[in-house]
Amino acid sequence: MTKLRTDGIITQDPQVISKTCELFYKHLYKSNLSTEAMEIFFNSLSNIKTISDNNKAICDSPITILDIEEAINKMKRNKSPGNDGLTSEFYKLFSKDLSCFLHKVYIESIDNNKLPPSLTQGLITLIPKPQKDILSIENWRPISLLNNDYKIIAMCLAKKLKCALNDIIDETQSGFMTGKHITNNIRLVIDILDYSDLITDNSFILFLDFYKAFDSIEHEFMFRALDIFGFGNIFKESIQTLYADANSSIKLPFGTTKRFDINRGIWQGCPLSAFLFLLPMQLLSIHFKNSSVVGLSIAGRVLSITQLADDTTLF
């Protein structure tokens, strides 16, 4: 990013660009949660599936040294490191020694609900969205470079969460779910259009795409979702620990911005984020199905919603 439109004026001034980026993302990651609205939403929900007792026990079980070794082994090589500069290759080379040390750090952090400061620091790099006006800051995607010691604990928790998703995420969601693909959603829409002659009532297909979907997830809403889906306190507090005191700065061609707090949003670049994102999306699906919207009835089957992560289609 070497130039940017700010207040209608195109600038190449590094200080102006840096300040504009800092203020934009500082505002984006500032919580805007209405507790009253959240309570009304959750009280309106019904027919919510919860995770099995077995998966609850798995999620609540302590992270082990073996979990850490497996996470390090699965880390991809030749990836940009986080703020501390320690690469995945470093962790792989010293895996045996580091796993024991990291295990002590993670257990103590979860017990005290607080990570070491270096684990809470992200470094955002901005990637231009294809075929968009890159003079607008909104058309850059924030990817967080996270320290690998953070990514390892996130991978350990992601493995636990992934085991429980099939208990609570229904067939309408295709994103990040094993065995599902974007073609499921595309094929469904095509089939509905092909069989439109069988639909007797006036109807429509509405495609939704959420503004800054990952970046606008409220942390308290996400933690409440863990409760309502039946996750135990230990797992929920582990997730809360990862987001406590989170902060970031933005990497630009001429330096980095000042650090700012991350009070909402889930880091794009975190191994855990995709799975956590499915929880509020599933609640949206439940809310819509509980509403007065009837949906489309074709050959005895009622269709009302389909999702690919945040890309939501309503019928």
- In angstroms, the CA 65 to CA 156 distance is 10
- 242 neighbors 294 (Cβ within 8 angstroms): no
pLDDT tens across 210-248, in order? 999 999 999 999 999 999 999 999 999 999 999 999 999
Strands 140-146 and 206-208: unpaired
Enumerate residues 6+ apart whose C-beta is below 8 A from 13: none
* Residue 135 DSSP class: T
3-state secondary structure of 54: helix
Tokens of 245: 């005191």
- β-partners of residue 248 are 122, 260
Placement of tokens 């700012």 in the chain: 260
Residue 167: predicted pLDDT: 97
Chain centroid to Cα 18, Å, comes to: 26
Q: Which residues does the chain have with pLDDT short of 70?
A: none
262 CB neighbour count, 10 Å cutoff: 26
* Residue 187, amino acid: R
Total-model pTM: 0.92
Burial class of residue 209, CB neighbours in 10 A (0-12, 13-18, 19+): exposed
Residue 195: predicted pLDDT: 80
Enumerate residues 6+ apart whose C-beta is below 8 A from 242: 115, 150, 153, 154, 157, 272
Residue 114: predicted pLDDT: 96
Residue 197: predicted pLDDT: 79
Residue 300: predicted pLDDT: 76
Residue 209: predicted pLDDT: 87
- 74 neighbors 155 (Cβ within 8 angstroms): yes
CA dihedral defined by 170, 173, 179, 180, rounded to 10 degrees?
A: 150
DSSP per-residue letters across 210-247: -TTTGGG-BHHHHHHHHHHTT--HHHHHHHHHHHTT-E
Residue 58: predicted pLDDT: 98
- 311 neighbors 209 (Cβ within 8 angstroms): yes
Placement of tokens 């230990």 in the chain: 234
DSSP E strand stretches across 50-113: none
- HSE on the CB side for 157, CA within 13 Å? 26
- 115 neighbors 238 (Cβ within 8 angstroms): no
- 248 neighbors 123 (Cβ within 8 angstroms): yes
Per-residue b/e over 60-89, b at no fewer than 16 CB within 10 Å? beebeeebbbebbeebeeeeebbbbebbbe
Angle at 86 between CA 84 and CA 88, to 5 degrees: 140
Strands 301-303 and 311-314: unpaired
pLDDT tens across 244-269, in order? 999 999 999 999 999 999 999 999 98
Residue 185: predicted pLDDT: 86
